[in-house]
Structure 1
Amino acid sequence: MKEVMSSLMDKQDRLQTENTTLKLRVAECEKEQEEEKVKFSEVVRRQIQENTKVAVLEVTKEKEDLVRDAVEKKKSFVIYGMREKKNPNKFTIEREEREMAKAVIKRVQESTQEFDQEVEEVIRLGRYSERGKRPMKVKMRFQVAVEEIMARKGKLADDVDHKEIWINRDINLEEREEEKALRSEAKKKKKKKREKDR
């Protein structure tokens, strides 16, 4: 009986030792699990920060592009109705178009102003068609020059040589389409009024 009791006591001690070891192992596992949760949440937090930085950079770049475009548009205007000359030499075409743009600017500027000297770049918009009248975008060095030209663009209406030519601000495609529709509507109304007055 003593031996059985002794054996049972040994088993109980062994089980208690194993139980204590298991409790320590469970505590270690729980601690590791908490550390893993913290690591995972840190990884997720860092990923969110990284994604946010990327998104902010993209939006900032987009805004910078929009601002740059807006500033460029304020330094430009478009000449409409100017017939193209057929010339195979690209350099000659660019020089002639620059001179045509300067001639139009001279017609609208005051005699003391020299805005025709502020022309930075002249570009034809759209596809070439022989004897066509593609719009001509004129980029100036300073916005002030464009504002002055816009203020005096009405002088072209009185000029016999430039009767079919007009100047407008540099606007995007949507604004151009909207303006074209408004012009078309105004022409129809004017035509109806003339017919009615007869």
Structure 2
Amino acid sequence: MSRMHTDTPAAGTSTAHSNRWFTGCAVALLAFFVLIGLGALALAEFEKSLDGHGQLEQDPHPFGPGATARYEDGLEAAVSAPHREPDGTYRFTVTYDNSTEEELLPGGTSSPGPAPLVVREGELYRDHASGYSLEWLNQDEAVSALMPPLGADDTRTVPVHVRPGGEGTPVLVEVTPPSADYRETAYFQLTLD
């Protein structure tokens, strides 16, 4: 009679096979989650590229005094509440906070385009406020303050001094920080009481 010989696995082979299977699954699972994370990041960047980095993150137009307009690329612009002076004029500031990764020119360049800072009587979506007038007393000073480059992680505050033609004058501040491509205008509505 012939004897049948069967191979029996060695004692540690089953455990080694189990460990390799577990390690392979763990590596595959980790790779899967890394790919999902990278895909989500790529999708977020793609979404930003569709509307551009010059878009505002929020849309409460117009902004009120003391509010901050935040752009998707990290630039922030804020307009302080107006303060009345003893002579009946008002002062407020426009502050630029450059949290982007590049130097900006808040005063623009010599190329044509919208003015980087406009202060006028009126309200958003109306050309001018009927019966009101406003004189921007330090326009040249404000323009000069905007001209130097604004480095990454730098802040610049631009003083504005105005004389209203009467109490209750609505003031519209239009902030359009220049960009190589496009930057949305942030509108701030103030009332001089």
Scaled to the shorter chain, the TM-score interval is: 0.3 to 0.5
Which is greater in Rg? 1
Q: TM-score, normalised by structure 1?
A: 0.32
Q: TM-score, normalised by structure 2?
A: 0.33
Higher strand share: 2
